[in-house]
Every structure is written in structure tokens, then in C-alpha cells.
Chains A and B, each alone.
Chain A
């Protein structure tokens, strides 16, 4: 029971990270295509200014919870995915530097360099998260001792790459909508338009991914066994379509919220399908790491549950307040402030 609760919480933490980190990663991916002038670029940076740091803590918590609740999974997953994880880390580190450093120095080549870093530092993590999760959905070649039999190229298989492209598109649309909400004038219009174009591609890739999952993974097993679970993918698809409907009405806030729901739904679709596996083995199902054979002791799970039940609602409360506080568009007046990126 405790294991199942933590499995769900684990999935929710990833879902929230993708929902929040997703818009700032998406902004980084879209920036070269929608932001033309230096002012445009600064607006892109500043729309995520107060948030990106708090967003990233959801990733740290997701990682920490994997370690604390499922230490064996954490150990095997992180060492098996060694190269992609380190690439991801470098990308995130350089990206943070880009956000913090870019506007602190005048000079075209300085700023241009960091703009490229922001793009790569956003694109690479989005792609790798998708590749990693898709590979987890279809199983990883690990043996009974959790040793990984493969390399980075093993993970870059067609289904894995499809997952990567799906994540890049989900985040790019999400970031585009955020910019449509937060920017003014032309930039907002361009962001909304690009988000709309990408949404079309996203729809095709999402359908392809759902279809490919039928053949490449066992994700649908749980849905066939418990048909009420179909609600999860159903809500996700409805949210994805609703996102577009709101976009057509230029209701950007609503479209962004629908996009949030799409990302959470998409993540949970995978997580629910995966249960009870956390890190399935493609060599032999008996080697798979599950919520039950890789979990911490009941005492640790209980203590963490108490902490999570008290503090996570508080975190949600103050992060929501922060979004409320910075609900306005980013204006040129904001850029003149001394603290602006």
C-alpha cells in the first residue's frame, strides 16, 4: 500500500516537474524562432525569471524521492542511464548560467553565446527526458544485478527518439503559450502563432506515440485490466484538443492551463501503464525493478509520507502565490529594472 502511494507520488512529482519545468524549457527551445531583437530575447528570459529556479526543484525532489523511496531503482536507473543523465546535468547547469549571466554584460557575442547555450540547454534536456521515459516504458536491457547492457545508442532507438520528439513538442507548445500570455504585442502574437503550428505536429506525433506504444511497450496492459483507467489518456487527449480550441480563440491563459493538463496527463498515462514497474528489464521481466522489490523500509516511507503531506501543500500554496504575484505581462518597464535579466 505504502509502496503504491509512493509510486503514485513519484509519478506526480515528475508530472509536475514536466508541467512547470516544461514551460521554461519550451521557452528556451522557441526563443531563437520567436525572439528577434535583444529586447524580445530579454522578455523571453524575464518571463521565466521568477520561476525557473523553483520549477527545477521539482526535478530535484523527483530525483530525491526516487533515491529515498526506491533506492534500488535509483541506483540502477541512474547508473544505467549514466551518459544521458550527465548530458542532462551539464545542459541544465549551463542553462542556469545562461539565464543568470546573459544580461549582466553588454556585448553582442557574449549575449549571442548565452542565447545558444539557453537553446541547447533547453532542447537537450527536453529531448533526453523524452528518450529516457520512452525507453523506460519499453524496458531497459538490465540483468539480474542491475547492470546495463547497452550504450547511449541503445537508447536512441526509434521509439525512444519518438518519445524525445514528443517531449520537445509538448514543451515547445507549452512555452509558446506561456510567452503568448506573458509578452506583449508582436512577440506575443508570434509566440501564439508558432505554438499553433507546432500543435499540429504535436498532434500527429502524439497519435503516433500512442500507436507505437501499443506495439513497443506493455503500457496498455493495466488499461485493459482496469478499463476505468482509460480516463487518464482520455482526459489527456481532450486536454490536448482543448488547448487548440482555446488557442483559436486567443484565450492564451486557458490554453496554457489546458496544456498543463495535457503534460500532466501524458506523464501519468505512462506512469499508470508502467505500474508496478519503475524500471522494467527488457532482458527478463523477472529482473524488472518494481515499487515493491526496490522500495525503502516501511518506516522510511512513512516518515517521508508525513513530511510530504505537510510540506508539499505548503509548497504548492507559495508557488501558486508567486505565480499570482507575477501574473502580469513582462513589459519594457520591467526590463529597465536593475534586477531584470
Chain B
């Protein structure tokens, strides 16, 4: 393997791993903020116990999200120095501004929130978690605007043999960035919603502290169904945007080889890249693809053969990742609708609860698949139409990158195991039942004196 391939793999490992923590951070922080706000509003101790229980899981997850993010920032320089030189004028500023405007806020206030229970008034304390929530969700925008620029570069000119910024506003407000943001954020909220529903379901099934978990379940079910249903529309619009600016990626995601009028949508296909066709394609729904992607059942859908072989993304991975992601997205919408209908009496539906426990990992998989479509589908470009991935890597020795990739896999695997083991340990812990309502003494009461 060459340095480019090894660096791609290393970036993929670092990104997938980072994104095991990010979506839960983005979504769970909002739920925790809502719980604490409810506590401040009503004085109901149960809400405080919820805040502490879910807040603890949030914090374990948060730390690894932060530090694995540094790796991503640094890797542009270490492994992709030609890329950094060529587009740093546009791309680098988004990362720097993200740190200045959002990341400081998030990281400072998470510390204040975590250690400040007794130092701040309830209102000020709740405000801190809202700062974290806003900052986390804002920081995602900067990063996704940067990624969108790699997908669809705008607001720049090639000058001094590099891409130079000409219109910052255009970079920030291009539709691709806005829809990608909404798509990723909704996905993150779905993930967090299923996380809370799944863990609540686990406890309800065992009859442990039912009031707290029923309330958590109810809140998460309503939260999830909103975004799971909205995600269908958002994903559709994001897909149409991709169709417009990255038609080769879209064609790979659908495994369409020949340009076709009124293209059918195949639910199942086995792409054969060698012979530029699908060796199997079944369950075709006539004209649906043209209708969904182009808004007109008879519209012409561009096939992969429109592009020379070396300008096509890998078809099979893109196709399958896209198929599975969409299927999971529809499944989430369906399950969350059932869950929201049962939100007041979840204990009467043990089968649903069992299903929800098993659903916890699925949104993680969907998010990983989504990034696979986005990033593999962009190939062979690192910046779509502007710079090829093959020209972007640093001048490093194969041994250097091979060694660091191995180290990443070993260290990340170990940390991932420990982190999720800890999350599972604290997720299974049973909070003490709430004391009688009305006794809302802010400074007392801990969830569990677990393991201190």
C-alpha cells in the first residue's frame, strides 16, 4: 500500500472513531439541558436525578470526543500537507474560527457545569449546560461548512497556485452546508434519542426505578420522533443537493451506469465495476429514482459512464452504504413513531422495549455509513473538481504511516472498549428513587455514590 492509501485509512480510522462520540455529545447535551431546565422550572427532584444520571454518561462520552478531535485537526498537516498548503486559506480559517468561537465555550462550560453544582445558583448552573449545548451544535456547523467546501467548493479563486478565499459568506451559507448540517444534526439527535430510549427501556424491563426512566423514555421518544421523521425530508433535500453538485457520487450511490430517462430505483444490486454494470439488480421500481432525485419521473439521470473511469468513486461501497443508511433511517422513523405512541405506558410493550435496547448501536452504524457515502463518494477528489486525493498527501515514508496507522488502531480500539464499557457500567447503575416531591434542596442529593 502507498502513503496515500495508508493516510486515507488512518484518516478514516480517526474520523469513524471521533464520530462514535460526537453525535451523542450533540444530542444528549440537549436532552440533559432540557431535563435540568425542567428541574429549575418545577423544582421536581426527579428531573435533577435524570440530569445527573444522563449527565454522567454524557461526560464520559464527551472527553474522548474532544481529544480525538485534535487528531483530526492535526492530521491535515501531518498526512495531507499538499492539501493544507493548497486550500489552507479557505479551509484552515474555518477550523480556527470554530475553536475560537465554539470550542472554547463548550470546553470551559462543561468544566463549570460538571464541578459547579454547589457553586452556582440552579438557574446559572442550567445556563452552563445550555452554553455547552449551543457551543457544541455551533461548532458542528463550522466543521460541516468546511467539509461541505470539500464537497462543493465555493467563494474562492485559484491564485498564487492555491485556492484563496474571495467570499467567506458564500462558504458559510451555501445550501450544501446548510442541508448537510441539518442532516448530520438530525442524525445526531436520533442517535441520542435512541440511546436514552434504549437505556431507559433496559431499566423499565427490569422494573428498576421506573418513574425516572419512564419520564426519560417519554422525553426521548418525543424528541426522537420529531427528528427521525424530519430526517426523511432533510435527507431527501440533501440528496437532491448532492445530485446537483456531485452527480458522479449520486450515480455511484444508486449504481446507475447508463444515462437513463425515467430511471428506476433498484432496492438491491451488485455493482460490477470491472465490467461497468450491475451483475445483479432486482426489485426495481420504475421511474422512482428520477422522481426522487430530480423531481420529475421522466427526467434524465446521468449514469457513471458519463465520467472517465479514473473520475468515478468506488461504486459498491458507496452504493451499499447509501442503501443501508436509508433503510436504517426509515426504520428509525418507524420505530420512533411506535415508541412515541407508547410513550405514556412503555411498560405494557415489552417487545418494543427489547427492540429498543437492541437498537442502541444502529444509529451509530447509520452515521458511519453516512460518512462513508460522503467521503468515499467524493473520491477520487479531495476537493471536488479542484484537487485529487492522490495529489494531496504529505511526502512521508510508508513505514512512518504504516506504524502510526497501527498505533491508531491499537490505541483507539483499547480506548473504545474501555469507554463503552464504562458507559455501559454507568448506564446499568440504578439511581436512587427520588425523595418525596417538594424537597428540592439543590445542594443535597447525589445520584449514586457509585464507586468513590
Interface pair B81/A78, CB less than 8 Å apart: yes
B1 CB-CB contact with A under 8 Å: no
A339 pairs with B97, CB closer than 8 A: no
Enumerate chain B residues within 8 angstroms of A145, measured Cβ to Cβ: 395
Stretch of A171-179, A218-226, A306-314 that contacts chain B:
A306-314
Q: Does B411 contact A (CB under 8 A)?
A: yes
Are B88 and A64 closer than 8 Å at their CB atoms? Answer: no
Other-chain contact of A104, B71, B119, B451 (Cβ < 8 Å): B451
B281 touches A (CB below 8 Å): no
A99 at the interface (CB under 8 A from B): yes
Q: Is A89 an interface residue (CB 8 A)?
A: yes
How distant is B448 from chain A, measured CB to nearest CB, in Å?
7
Once A60-B73, A60-B99, A104-B451 are accepted as A-B contacts, the answer to whether A300 and B107 lie under 8 Å apart by CB is no
CA distance A313 to B74 in the complex (A): 25
- Report, as a range, how many residues of chain A touch the other chain: 35 or more
Q: B385 in the interface, Cβ–Cβ < 8 Å?
A: no
Contact (Cβ within 8 A) A307 B108: no
Q: Which residue of B lies closest to A316 (CB)?
A: B104
Given contacts A60-B70, A100-B63, contact A75 B418 (CB under 8 A): no
In whole angstroms, how far apart are the Cα atoms of A67 and B85 in the complex? 9
Question: Are A325 and B63 within 8 A (Cβ)?
Answer: no
> Which residues of chain B (42-83) have a CB below 8 Å from chain A?
52, 56, 59-60, 63-64, 66-71, 73-74, 76-79, 81-82
Residue in contact with A72 in the complex, picked from B63, B79, B85, CB distance below 8 Å? B85
Residue numbers in A under 8 Å from B71 (CB-CB): 89, 93
Return chain A residues, CB-CB under 8 Å to B115. Answer: 46, 49-50, 326, 339-340
Q: Bound state CA distance, A76 and B117, in angstroms?
A: 45
Say yes or no: is A213 at the interface (Cβ < 8 Å to chain B).
no
B419 within 8 A of A: yes
- Say yes or no: A296-B89 contact (C-beta < 8 A), given A65-B96, A105-B451: yes
- Give the interface segment out of B162-170, B181-189, B210-218, B271-279: B162-170
Q: Is B449 an interface residue (CB 8 A)?
A: yes
Known contacts A51-B111, A56-B107, A104-B451; is-contact A76 B81 (Cβ 8 Å): yes
CB A85 to nearest CB in B, in angstroms, measures: 6
A152 — nearest CB in chain B belongs to which residue? B400
Complexed CA–CA distance, A67 and B92 (Å) = 5
Q: Using an 8 Å CB-CB cutoff, how does the interface string of B85-126 with A read, 1 for contact, 0 for none? A: 101111111111111110111011111101111111000000
Q: Is the CB of A303 within 8 A of B93?
A: yes
| A86 contacts across to B, CB distance below 8 A | 78, 404, 407
Among A67, A89, A338, contact of B96 (Cβ-Cβ < 8 Å): A67
* Closest-CB distance, B62 to chain A (whole angstroms): 8
- Bound complex: CA A298 to CA B271 (Å): 48
Q: In terms of DSSP, what is the predominant structure of the interface of chain B?
A: helix
Q: For the complex, what is the distance from the CA of A336 to the CA of B443, rounded to whole Å?
A: 13
- Contacts A61-B99, A71-B84, A105-B451: A89 and B74 contacting too (C-beta < 8 A)? yes
Other-chain residue from A71, A83, A97 in contact with B88 (beta carbon distance below 8 A): A71
**A-contacting residues, B372-399, CB 8 Å:** 394-396
- Give the docked Cα–Cα distance between A92 and B74 (Å): 13
Q: Given A92-B67, A303-B168, A326-B119, check contact A338 B446 (CB 8 Å).
A: yes
Are the CB atoms of B93 and A96 closer together than 8 Å? no
Question: Please, which residues of chain A bring their CB within 8 A of the CB of B87?
Answer: 71
Residue of B nearest to A335 (CB): B452
What residues of chain A lie closer than 8 Å to B426, measured between beta carbons? 104
**In the complex, which of the residues A79, A308, A322, A339 contacts B77, with contact meaning CB atoms closer than 8 Å?**
A79
A68 in complex: contacting residue of B82, B95, B448, CB < 8 Å: B95
Q: Which residues of B contact A96 (CB under 8 A)?
A: 63-64, 66-67
In whole Å, how far is A49's beta carbon from the nearest beta carbon of chain B?
5
Chain A residue with minimal CB distance to B59? Answer: A100
B402: min CB distance to chain A, Å: 12
The smallest C-beta distance from A58 to any residue of chain B, in angstroms, reads 8
Contact, CB under 8 Å: B68 / A74: no
Q: How far is the CB of A254 from chain B (nearest CB, A)?
A: 24
In the complex, chain A residues whose CB is within 8 Å of the CB of B108:
53-54, 57, 315, 318-319, 322
A90 at the interface (CB under 8 A from B): yes
Closest to B93 in A: A68
Say yes or no: A304-B96 contact (C-beta < 8 A), given A53-B66, A72-B85. yes
Q: Are A63 and B88 in contact (CB under 8 A)?
A: no
Chain B residue with minimal CB distance to A83? B400
A294 (CB) vs chain B CBs: closest residue = B85
By beta carbon, the residue of chain A nearest B84 is A75
Chain B 305-346 against A: per-residue CB contact (8 Å), 1 yes, 0 no? 000000000000000000000000000000000000000000
CB within 8 A of B78: which of A49, A78, A296, A337?
A: A78
Question: Is A57 touching B452 in the complex (CB atoms < 8 A)?
Answer: no
Kindly supply a per-residue 1/0 record for chain A positions 278-305, scoring 1 wherever the CB is within 8 Å of any chain B CB and 0 otherwise: 0000000000000000001101100110
Bound: A90/B78 CA distance, A: 14
Provide the residues of chain A in CB contact with B85, threshold 8 Å: 71-72, 75-76
B112: chain A residues within 8 A (beta carbon): 50, 322, 325
Q: Which of A60-119 contact B (CB under 8 A)?
A: 60-61, 63-69, 71-72, 74-79, 81-83, 85-86, 89-90, 92-94, 96-97, 99-101, 103-106
CA distance A178 to B73 in the complex (A): 30
User: Known contacts A68-B88, A337-B118, A338-B448: does B67 contact A93 (CB below 8 Å)?
Assistant: yes
Interface presence of A4 (CB below 8 A): no
Q: How distant is B221 from chain A, measured CB to nearest CB, in Å?
A: 27
Which residue on chain B has the smallest CB distance to residue A72? B85
Bound Cα distance from A338 to B105, whole angstroms: 24
Chain A residues with CB under 8 A of B34: none
For this complex, 23 residue pairs linking A to B, each with C-beta atoms less than 8 Å apart, are: A52-B111, A56-B107, A57-B103, A61-B100, A67-B88, A72-B85, A75-B77, A79-B78, A81-B78, A85-B74, A89-B70, A90-B411, A97-B64, A103-B451, A104-B60, A104-B422, A104-B426, A147-B395, A297-B165, A300-B90, A303-B165, A326-B119, A339-B59
| Given A61-B104, A67-B88, A79-B394: 16 more A-B contacts, CB < 8 Å | A53-B108, A56-B107, A68-B95, A71-B92, A75-B84, A79-B79, A97-B67, A97-B419, A101-B418, A104-B60, A296-B93, A297-B160, A303-B93, A307-B101, A339-B56, A339-B114
Top 6 A-B pairs ranked by shortest CB distance?
A71-B88, A78-B77, A67-B92, A64-B96, A68-B92, A75-B81
Residues of A participating in the B interface, judged by any CB pair closer than 8 Å: 46, 49-54, 56-57, 59-61, 63-69, 71-72, 74-79, 81-83, 85-86, 89-90, 92-94, 96-97, 99-101, 103-106, 145-147, 296-297, 299-300, 303-304, 307-308, 311-312, 315, 318-319, 322, 325-326, 335-340
